[in-house]
Structure 1
């Protein structure tokens, strides 16, 4: 009947999410243990999943596919999705005892609000991930150039790499550091000139 909230038991819900029952259970047990989000229960014991839980599961699916840890996803969840923390569950129970109609209205309001924000939330989530990926790629690029510079330094004549200290000759580490830094800067300048859409951070 239209207007009745749809719920699933764990087997059907896991199939809808596309993950095993064990995996889905572990997500929601983590959220409940941390007090982030609680499932609805029938007769106070049997857990059921609704549309709000489905959206949260989709958030976990997408996050796990991108390599984010469960603890990080649980921590970030309230920033991107509506949740039912323990305090809200207690409030809903009180409203259920007082008025089932009021409880239904509250749940529908939460679901509708979730529908209006989920798309924007995932876009912000993807943008944040893209920034992190770009930073990692830039660090790797600089690391590769530093290794190249170290190899170039080793190929320089002995007298350019070492300086006298008393009766000994030691490697000029200050000069080496300047050499590596200048090498990386020059290489980045050349690469950024060839590819102006990829600007390196200032060293």
Structure 2
């Protein structure tokens, strides 16, 4: 049996009948492809209408579209599927069941061969795209790893703590060193600037003034370093 020019598998066929029904009636209907498949299985089981096969897979054409739209219209009028099957052949052309012996002798028609070739090509294309995507993903991961290898190795928590401890110790040592320099500079000042009177005939070192001198000296040093 020759296939018509346009054929669909069940999922695409379901979308096609929904689209055509909406164009014809302006009513949008939605069906799962399992529901549509059940309609046609019921007709086949009752010997009313045959669905064509290509490589053991059902394919649907414009004749099946007309039948599906007829079913949808009747279902919207609350008809049961059994009632529809009783009147289907009186309203529409139905496809007779093939002579299996003749079909085996004749082999696949040209249209069937084209459909099967298209199905195989689509499968090959999907496998090729999948392979390319996998290879690109592998290359991406390799490049990411190469970039990571070029980056400095992240420091461990122990290394970070050790660095902070070294910085703290170094800072404290430097502070002591600068305080020592400050004391030396303080001692170079004239005596009258370093002492204070504590009586008529007695003087002593002005410790408060000395501490302020040392503090300011250290402060100025670290301010210059931060710059």
What is the TM-score when the length of structure 2 is the normalising length? Answer: 0.38
What is the TM-score when the length of structure 1 is the normalising length? Answer: 0.43
Larger Rg: 2
